Amino acid sequence: MAIHSLNIKTKLGYASAEVGITAVQLFTQIYLLKYYTETIGLIPSLAGIALAISVIWDAVSDPLMGNISDRTESRMGRRRPYILFGGIFLSLSILILFSPPEITSQLGKFLYLLTTYLLVNTAMTIISVPHIALGGELSFERNERTSIFGWRLFFSNIGMLVGMIVPAAILQSLGDETSKENIMSSRIGAGEIVSGVIVFTSVLAFLVTKGKDNTVAKEENQSSFFVSLYSVFKNKVFLVLLVAFIVAGIGRTFNTAIALYYYQYRLGLKESDVILNIMLPFFMVLMCSIPFWVWMAKKFGKKIPAFSGVFLLGLLTVIAYPLFPYGEIRPPLLVAFLGGIFAGSILIMDSILTDVVDYDELKTNRKREGLYFGFWKMGVKFSQAFGIALSGFLLDIIGFDANLPTQSEEVGFSLAMIFGPGVGFFFIVGSLIFLFLFPLTDDKHKRIQRVLLKRRKK
């Protein structure tokens, strides 16, 4: 493993795969539920169940994939083969997800969504878990790791822009944004573009990281998966970090799943206005904030900046969103600017996880980035599954009717409470769990790394 600084070409090439991975994630998180309920005609509760089942499978498979990549030995490395082949699989599966045939029955629509989204999430597991694990292995140096994951978040935000803007831009170019035919055409066209992006970026990451993906000796990986599983759950440092991230992740899923409903039916804004004038500035500011958070982590350590960003994001969400006036775009734009700054702190969490992996190596004398990042991804997926399923049921509970062009004032208020205090609550609770219960400080991690360096020299 390299201790010295990586060249910029390796960092950029590795991180580029996040464009395709995140484009799929945001494309599905923002548009899939609304697409299948309003355009395809699947009732919200069934759509929520189908999406939740698929994401739960994705979550369960993540640690398995991490363990598989930990144990893989090939001429191409441990992680790189899965980045290549997983990217191709993901590009094909996203095409069929947004191109359903004409189905009349609710059961048929439910089964098609369930099956195709299972394929998408299986492919996502194959590429994303080895990819994020490889990021933790590219360097041993603390600040270098933060830089790697900073570039990863930068390209992740480019992927967010692709997954968010392309569908809206295509729909806007077709004219009538309420036409079901135009909506379907825009989603199919966006799926084709996202599919191409996935193939290109996964191949690029595969090629640029050649020689950086080291296969470990066989004796390091002899424990069975279930023995490794048990040892991970005994790691209380990791569990606290994981629980905090899952809780905050539920809020993030609420935010993306409910966003278009909130802006359309509470504030009366068109999809293209929301995407281009609110969400786009949010992600642009988030991207620009990354160097600031990298600097903060170097200057003040990782824990306090990570807590501060998530906590302030939650506080802002609780206060602001129920108060926005109907038809006004400037107030949510201002909040999007502030929220983008606070949300940039999320990059520090991935970097902290690599520190936890070092702690595990100190205790076990084994390197298991794949397994830990697999559980990390699993936690993200469980939070998504819970958030998506709850979103679908809440839409039914508050009386949302997809067949109506407008909703009642009571439904609009309920959407505001879900999108504001409902989302912010999870951000705040997750940040407080992290602040008060996570025990691994920067000084402790520096001591751990000194011991590991001495051990490796021997």
What's the pLDDT score for residue 218?
A: 46
What's the pLDDT score for residue 89?
A: 95
pLDDT tens string 240-272? 998 998 898 888 888 877 888 899 899 999 878
Angle between helix 409-417 and helix 236-265 axes, rounded to 10 deg: 160
| Cα 9 from Cα 236, distance rounded (Å) | 36
What's the pLDDT score for residue 17?
A: 92
CATH 1.20.1250.20 fits 8-210+223-457, yes or no: yes
Return the domain boundaries, the chain: 8-210+223-457
What's the pLDDT score for residue 1?
A: 42
Structure tokens given for 423: 């989302």
What's the pLDDT score for residue 178?
A: 79
Structure tokens given for 88: 């191709």
Distance set, CA 271 to CA 168, 178, 267, 404 (Å): 7, 10, 11, 16
Residue ranges in the chain whose pLDDT is less than 50: 1-4, 217-222
pLDDT tens string 5-61? 677 888 888 889 999 999 998 898 888 888 998 889 898 889 888 988 887 887 788
